Amino acid sequence: MKAFDFVRHPTNRLDIVAGLIDGILNALTLAAGHLIHAGGEGATLSLALRVSVAAGATTIFVFFVAHYAQLRVELVRHERELNLMAHGKLAATSLGRSVFFESLFKALLAAGFSLAGALFPLILCAWLTSPPWLGLAITIIALGGLGALLAKTFYGSSLRWGVCLFVGGIVLTFVGMNLDLVG
């Protein structure tokens, strides 16, 4: 039950949702060309792991920089409120270390969910022996379902959010098919 509470905690929601969606969209963008143009080869475990690691690695970097910059701005704001003349004094204290480790934790959380989000559709495509596009279609539908569930958490329109993420998934799949990055 503790893990479920941790996932549901509002302070972690951004990292979890953004990580999942980022991972799914990375998988659709990076692997769609390979899945459609590979002449029936489809997804492999190697492809799933490579794309997932790439998604997780970029996510950890982006989220660490974003969180760290945001929290350091908060320290600067507090320095101004306290009328501290020298800048960076709060960052040199235990608050600065706390900001660093909180940013690292949030980045690792987002990266873990991004890795899982990228791994899910590609493992699904590898397991399904039917046409590779079926796994992509199921992933796009799941992305729309994720949007609908997300909307329920803040009383938004489930239909609107589901359709927007569904359409976004289709667009990025077509981008991935045309770019054929992993080809």
Q: Could you tell me the residue ranges of all domains in the chain?
A: 10-178
Which portions of the chain are predicted below pLDDT 70? 1-4, 6-7, 38-41, 86, 88-89, 91-92, 183
Q: What is the pLDDT of residue 35?
A: 81
Distance CA 54, CA 63 (A): 14
pLDDT at 138: 86
Q: Residue 38 in contact with residue 132, Cβ under 8 Å? A: yes
b or e along 90-117 (b: 16 or more beta carbons within 10 Å of the residue's beta carbon)? Answer: bbeeeebeebbeebeebbbbbbbbbbbb
Which residues 6+ apart lie within 8 Å of 111 measured at CB?
19, 56, 57, 59, 60, 63
